Chain A
Amino acid sequence: MLVMRRREGESILIGDDIEIQILHAGPSRIKIGITAPKCVPVTAKEVKLVRQQNVAAAQTRSVAALRAMLDQLSARPGGEK
């Protein structure tokens, strides 16, 4: 991973037409501005992770696998140990 140090107001260029500017740096979060062509999707990484997780969640599971999981869950009231 390339690591660069930047201050507020400074930018990073990726290729010719993507610019990432540091707008504000606070103690625990930073605010960045992104300029990119419309064809480049820009999303928070969490969005992609959640999409992938939903696809996996919707595909998996036989009821048998579910039951096995249920038996393991300590959260289940009266669940078998």
Chain B
Amino acid sequence: MLNQPCMTTAQTTTLLRCETRYFGPVEYDDGSVLVFPDGVPAFEEEKRFIAIHQPINEPLIFLQSLSRPDVCFVTLPVLAACAGYQTRIAPEDLDALGLETREQPVIGRDVLCLAVLCVEENAPPTANLLAPIVVNLRTRCGRQVIQTDSRYSHQENLPVAEAACS
């Protein structure tokens, strides 16, 4: 479970249980729920997610919908997908996330910034670096931000071992 010390309302820990796509039933703390007021594109009704990360699957983070067990996005922190990644989040999106609109948020300090992965059989995995999922670490409000001014694609190849050896 994501354990960033961000939620101040969860004085008393309430453990809840949900079904997940990959891990069977999982218990989660109500205070760790990430709220996406607009859902994510194509899944507009999914407004509450939990972030599951496990040592065995480092550095992946699984974004599991709480209302639909079959909806789980496999994500990678953008900096793991692309060293030196820089956000270009529009002021409207920063505002919707409750963030300072005059400057880009600092990844890891202000926001969690995740790239949705697409892993298909017989094809190299890709990461959506055009539209990262950004979560305000203070409020746990999340949004998939489509960066129209980005130099990244929605299907960026991931660094693979062969490339790293060169």
Contacts and interface: CB of A to CB of B under 8 A. Distances in A.
Interface of A: 29, 44, 46-47, 49-58, 60-61, 63, 65-66, 69-77, 79-81
17 contacts: A47-B41, A49-B154, A50-B41, A50-B144, A50-B154, A53-B128, A53-B131, A53-B154, A54-B42, A57-B117, A60-B118, A65-B119, A66-B74, A72-B161, A75-B80, A75-B159, A81-B161
B158 interface: yes
A69 B119 contact: yes
Contact of A46 (B72, B117, B119, B131): B131
Given A57-B73, A58-B71, 10 more contacts: A46-B131, A50-B42, A54-B41, A69-B125, A70-B57, A73-B159, A73-B160, A75-B59, A75-B80, A77-B58
Give the interface SS of chain A, mostly helix, strand, loop or mixed: helix
Interface string B132-165: 0000000000001010110000110011110111
Contacts of A55: 42
B51 interface: no
Of the four ranges (under 10, 10 to 19, 20 to 34, 35 or more), the interface on chain B belongs to 35 or more
A60 B70 CA distance: 11
B74 A61 contact: yes
Contacts of B71: 58
B72 A58 contact: yes
B132 to A, nearest CB: 10
A56 B120 contact: yes
Contact of A57 (B59, B60, B128): B128
A54 B146 CA distance: 12
A42 B1 CA distance: 39
